Structure 1
Amino acid sequence: MALLDIEQLRIEFSSRHGELVAIDNVTLTLEKGEILGVVGESGAGKSTIGNAVIGLLQPPGKMTAGAVSLDGRRIDQLPGHEFRKVRGQRISMIFQDPLTSLDPLQTIESQLVETMQVHLNLSYSQARARAIELLQSVGMPEPEMRLQHYPHQFSGGMRQRVVIALALCCEPEVIIADEPTTALDVSIQAQILDLLRKLCKDKQVGMIIITHDMGVIAEITDRVAVLYRGKLVEQGTTQKILGNPDHPYTKSLISAVPRSDIKLRRFPMVTYIEDVLAPTKKELDISTHWLGQERDFGKHADTPLVETRNLGIQFVLKNAFLKKNRYMLDAVKDVSFSIKEGEVFGLVGESGSGKSTIARLISGLYKASSGSVIFNDVNLTKLKDESELNAFRRQIQMVFQDPYSSLNPRMRILDIVAEPIRFHRMTGSEAQTRAIVGDLLDYVGLGQQALKRFPHEFSGGQRQRICIARALATRPRFLICDEPTSALDVSIQAQILNLLKDLQEKLHLTILFISHDLPVIRQMCDRVGVMRHGELLEVADTETLFSNPQHEYSKHLLSLMPTLHFLSREGLDMEHAAQVA
């Protein structure tokens, strides 16, 4: 008897256009101590299966056929009060977005302690001691002090560690992990995967891991199931599915995984999908179009456009009237580097290392405690006048990690993209603004039919295209990309990264590219800086860093990078196959 049995599952969503079949006749089993990976496109139904198993399927979604059984007992028909006893104690879930799965009004301590007291009948002191132990096990520095903090006081990676601790706290029999390592760097990812693997082996916990990261699939799973448009197209052992897949979709999906061993000119695309191919971009003559006006297309390879000089910032983690009693965190310490005109400069490091903080310091979202930011020979940290600052803000734009939270859900796409154009008064009329927004949406592959729609009507990859269009709207010289594809599956990631490559080449953009995904960094960047605990440890040309790292921490990071040497490459198109050869 399987620990978890999903039989002929069918899930439908009702709408005014009829019934949408999200999951169609899917059968999966999970044994004790086994880790099952579920992969597929965005919208394939991976998370829907997880939500159905744990009883969190939101209306209008409903199970119309099939059954879910735990240890031979059917659980999908349990009344709400009985299912609540199962959820959390016997089955727990690690959600993809840690910020929305944590209560912003409660400290981490109260959330962890309350969960354990409800399900495990522990005293407060026992639950608190276990909470500290769990935070230590997921790599949280200074866990006793961090218990007192609220979710907004953590970085994305740190919040994900809290969510994982929350899922593990009641020692469940089954764990549904929905993109559990999305926001984590390779070192913490390796630590978390070791913890999950050990938990499954030692305590015979069964785990379904939903992810777009083939490195995670290769590292931790025993079997893999491949979903395509709600249907199970292939399943088998991890070695078989990744190394010798049968279905053309699986072959195409695996071919889109970024290479860690060689640098390619472009990212391979998932070519199997019939009507979800890469959007066709409108070709513009950038040299004469509005987008290219006021832009110097000459190459200034040796001229730094951006410099940080001894840059530093401190955050107050524990405030007090007396300065000696305050606890200050040096988020960035004495960081100096330069980015040449037209260069793509990468920043890597573990979550909480200060990468995103540096991006916010350069863009002016944070004010530096020490040091300076030099842009085009002007010290931005000394500018006080708002009009002077706005002139430089127009030239520096940022693409954030989470496209949905960086878009106003109440604004139409026309107004979202047009907002910076209107703010900086860059056009003479509203008709010209509308025409430019339409061209931008065409250029990033969305088309002008997107103008009147709202953010919730788009997929994650499409929303990221909207964010890129908005960032281009001010004709910036410098673009900061902070984990722009971390929440996207490999096929959509390939589209977005190829788009950024095209923009960089045609607009001669200078880009700061922040990521914890080392294969993506290798493909995207000319030079790379390695960060840890707020310090810049090493800067080198990309190929030099990957072939001959100098700092011990850089060597450690690269050693943890999955090699994926056994991945099938049958889905590569001719151009990419030639590059690999």
Structure 2
Amino acid sequence: MSLLDISNLTVEFPGRKSTFVAVEGVSLALEPGKVLGVVGESGAGKSTVGNAVIGLLQEPGRIANGEIRLDGERIDQLDKKAIRKIRGRRIGMIFQDPLTSLDPLQTVEAQLVETIRTHLPMSHSEALTRAIELLDSVGIPDPADRIGQYPHQFSGGMRQRVVIALALCAEPELVIADEPTTALDVSIQAQILDLMKALCVERNVGMLVITHDMGVIAEICDHVAVMYRGNLVEYGETAQVLGAPEHAYTKSLISAVPRADVTIDRFPNVNYIEAAATPTRSIDISTHWLGKARDYEAATGPLLQVQDLSMDFEVKSSIFPSRRKYFKAVKTVSFDIQPGETFGLVGESGSGKSTIARLITGLYHPSGGTVHFAGTELTSLSSRSQVLAMRRQMQMIFQDPYSSLNGRMRVKDIVAEPIKFHKLASSNTEVRQIVDDLLDHVGLGIGAGEKFPHEFSGGQRQRISIARALATRPRFLVCDEPTSALDVSIQAQILNLLKDLQQELGLTMLFISHDLAVIRQMCNRIGVMRHGELCEVADSDALYEAPQHAYTKELLTLMPSMDLLAKIA
């Protein structure tokens, strides 16, 4: 008998005019001590399956057909009171974002003890002892001291360990992990995946892992189910599905996974997925792009030179300078970027990558060192006109396109704003023409200008961000984790688009990421950051094939293994 048995599950969301079928006829089974991965893009129905199992479907969502059995007992028809007794006690849940799934106003001790005592007959002291043991078992150092701290006092990886401890505190039979490592660095991801796999084996817990990351699937899952638009399109042992996929959608997903073992010119088009093929750009924007507004003086040497750059953040203030305490985020970093080159910065969270980007673009003023752009020292600029002239030449694409776009403005106004601010057009008609051409060039079409950001998918919003960044005709783009929140197929589209734009428009790029596979495919040279220091700089292929620094070697060994994935052209 299976621990979890899902039979012919259909989930519907009734609306005023029609009923949306989120999951249709899905059947899955999970054994104790095993890991079942459910993979697919956003909107495939993965999380809906998990929510149906644990009884967290948002109204008016309902199970329209099928059965869900836990250790032989049917649970899909239980009332709210009965399902609450199962939730947490027999089924644990690990959510994607540990910061939002923990109460910021309560200590970790309060949250763990409360959960334990809700489900197990223990006194406060017994529950506290068990909570400390759980924190120790999930790898949190000094658990007796750290249990009294608040969630914000933990790093992202440590917060995820706390969430895992919460999921396990009542000794559940089944754990559902919904995108458990999406926001984590490669080293922290490796630790969390090892921990999850070990807990399944040691405690004989069944685990349902919901993800769009093929690396996670290949690393820890015994079986994998591939979902597309609410339907189960392929299901079987992980080695079989990833190594010899049968369905066209599975093949498309695997083909779009960035590889760290070889460099390719372009990512394959994910042709099975509707509207996923690279869009045909019918408009030539060179008439706007190469005019007077982009008449820059050619750089005789490197376009960007960073020399001994440092940044200190004050963490304890005092009227007495000797008592002030500082955190050194960046420590005497030096590198250069040649015209037309893509230079990558890779490293864990807190390594100083994004701080360097903000120093280069003038959002922070450095504590020491210099930044030269096209022969001009940016840190010495004093007048507003000089600063604006340089800022127009460099633009930034941020990680989260939804929070970096004004939700109250139409897309046409978002893209037009920098054109008007820098006075790059002679009339409103010309502004609108440039906006339409940019939107068409990034694959959205001119009709997208009338809509608001919330009407677009994540990948489409990132295209809007790229169009806005291109609006000032820059020659230098700073891309700060531009695809980390996107599905693998959408990521492939955006990366291809950036490559195309670089070649067509002569762009130079600083590409920041913690994804080693993406960095290899996008960059000519790569710098490895750790604790604010630049450990190593090398050509892309040389760095991956013959790394010199011990930390670089460690990062490369921690990447999820892609050996199981079929080589699909």
Q: TM-score, normalising length from structure 2?
A: 0.90
Work out whether 1:352 is the aligned partner of 2:353: no
Counterpart secondary structure, 2:450: coil
For 1:386-441, what per-residue CA distance to the aligned partner results, in whole angstroms no more than 9, with x for missing partners? 44333333222221222222223333222222232233333333333222222211
| In 2, Cα distance between equivalents of 1:60 and 1:102 | 26
Check 1:461–1:164 CA distance in 2 against 1; reply closer, same or farther (3 A cut). farther
Residues 102 and 163 of structure 1 are in contact (CA less than 8 Å); yes or no, is this contact kept in structure 2? Answer: yes
- Matched with 2:558 is 560
Counterpart residue type for residue 177 of structure 1? A
Residues 527 and 537 of structure 2 are in contact (CA less than 8 Å); yes or no, is this contact kept in structure 1? Answer: yes
* Stretches of structure 1 lacking an aligned partner (at least 5 in a row): 573-581
- Pick the structure with greater CA Rg: 2
| In 2, Cα distance between equivalents of 1:143 and 1:360 | 38
| In 2, Cα distance between equivalents of 1:450 and 1:306 | 34
- Mapping for residues 299-314 of structure 1, pairs under 5 Å: 303-314=301-312
- Mapping for residues 22-41 of structure 1, pairs under 5 Å: 22-41=22-41
Counterpart residue type for residue 359 of structure 1? A
Residues 138 and 192 of structure 1 are in contact (CA less than 8 Å); yes or no, is this contact kept in structure 2? Answer: no
For 1:471-496, what per-residue CA distance to the aligned partner results, in whole angstroms no more than 9, with x for missing partners? 21222222111221112222111111
After superposition, the CA RMSD in angstroms is 3.2
- Matched with 2:439 is 441
| In 1, Cα distance between equivalents of 2:144 and 2:391 | 37
- Matched with 1:577 is none
* C-alpha deviation, 1:290, in angstroms: 4.0
Residues 283 and 440 of structure 2 are in contact (CA less than 8 Å); yes or no, is this contact kept in structure 1? Answer: no
**Paired residue for 1:417, among 415, 418, 424?**
415
Counterpart residue type for residue 43 of structure 2? G
- Matched with 1:269 is 269
* C-alpha deviation, 1:463, in angstroms: 1.5
Counterpart residue type for residue 208 of structure 1? L
- Matched with 1:72 is 72
Residues 13 and 62 of structure 1 are in contact (CA less than 8 Å); yes or no, is this contact kept in structure 2? Answer: yes
* C-alpha deviation, 1:85, in angstroms: 3.7
- Matched with 1:503 is 501
* C-alpha deviation, 1:537, in angstroms: 0.4
| In 2, Cα distance between equivalents of 1:85 and 1:327 | 49
Counterpart residue type for residue 287 of structure 2? T
Residues 293 and 424 of structure 2 are in contact (CA less than 8 Å); yes or no, is this contact kept in structure 1? Answer: no
Check 1:303–1:454 CA distance in 2 against 1; reply closer, same or farther (3 A cut). same
* C-alpha deviation, 1:48, in angstroms: 1.7
* C-alpha deviation, 1:322, in angstroms: 7.3
| In 1, Cα distance between equivalents of 2:8 and 2:403 | 36
Residues 312 and 331 of structure 1 are in contact (CA less than 8 Å); yes or no, is this contact kept in structure 2? Answer: yes
- Matched with 2:516 is 518
- Matched with 2:50 is 50
* C-alpha deviation, 1:232, in angstroms: 0.6
Residues 109 and 128 of structure 1 are in contact (CA less than 8 Å); yes or no, is this contact kept in structure 2? Answer: no
For 1:217-258, what per-residue CA distance to the aligned partner results, in whole angstroms no more than 9, with x for missing partners? 111100000111111111110110011122222122212222
Check 1:53–1:379 CA distance in 2 against 1; reply closer, same or farther (3 A cut). farther
| In 2, Cα distance between equivalents of 1:83 and 1:125 | 26
Q: TM-score, normalising length from structure 1?
A: 0.88
Work out whether 1:287 is the aligned partner of 2:294: no
Counterpart secondary structure, 1:294: helix
For 1:298-331, what per-residue CA distance to the aligned partner results, in whole angstroms no more than 9, with x for missing partners? 986x722222222222345566787777664322
* C-alpha deviation, 1:355, in angstroms: 1.6
Counterpart residue type for residue 19 of structure 1? T
| In 1, Cα distance between equivalents of 2:142 and 2:177 | 23
Counterpart residue type for residue 282 of structure 1? R
Check 1:43–1:212 CA distance in 2 against 1; reply closer, same or farther (3 A cut). same
Counterpart residue type for residue 567 of structure 2? R
Identity in percent:
62
Residues 151 and 159 of structure 2 are in contact (CA less than 8 Å); yes or no, is this contact kept in structure 1? Answer: no
| In 1, Cα distance between equivalents of 2:424 and 2:137 | 51
* Stretches of structure 2 lacking an aligned partner (at least 5 in a row): none
* C-alpha deviation, 1:354, in angstroms: 1.9
- Matched with 2:84 is 84
* C-alpha deviation, 1:288, in angstroms: 2.1
| In 2, Cα distance between equivalents of 1:299 and 1:378 | 12
Check 1:565–1:393 CA distance in 2 against 1; reply closer, same or farther (3 A cut). same
- Matched with 1:175 is 175
Residues 261 and 563 of structure 1 are in contact (CA less than 8 Å); yes or no, is this contact kept in structure 2? Answer: no
| In 2, Cα distance between equivalents of 1:438 and 1:498 | 21
For 1:150-177, what per-residue CA distance to the aligned partner results, in whole angstroms no more than 9, with x for missing partners? 64x8776666555555545554432222
* C-alpha deviation, 1:543, in angstroms: 0.7
| In 1, Cα distance between equivalents of 2:61 and 2:290 | 43
| In 2, Cα distance between equivalents of 1:322 and 1:130 | 42
Residues 440 and 469 of structure 1 are in contact (CA less than 8 Å); yes or no, is this contact kept in structure 2? Answer: yes
* C-alpha deviation, 1:143, in angstroms: 10
Residues 412 and 449 of structure 2 are in contact (CA less than 8 Å); yes or no, is this contact kept in structure 1? Answer: yes
Deviates more, 1:428-437 or 1:107-116: 107-116
| In 2, Cα distance between equivalents of 1:85 and 1:490 | 37
* C-alpha deviation, 1:78, in angstroms: 3.2
| Count, aligned residues | 568
Counterpart residue type for residue 180 of structure 2? P
| In 1, Cα distance between equivalents of 2:459 and 2:306 | 31
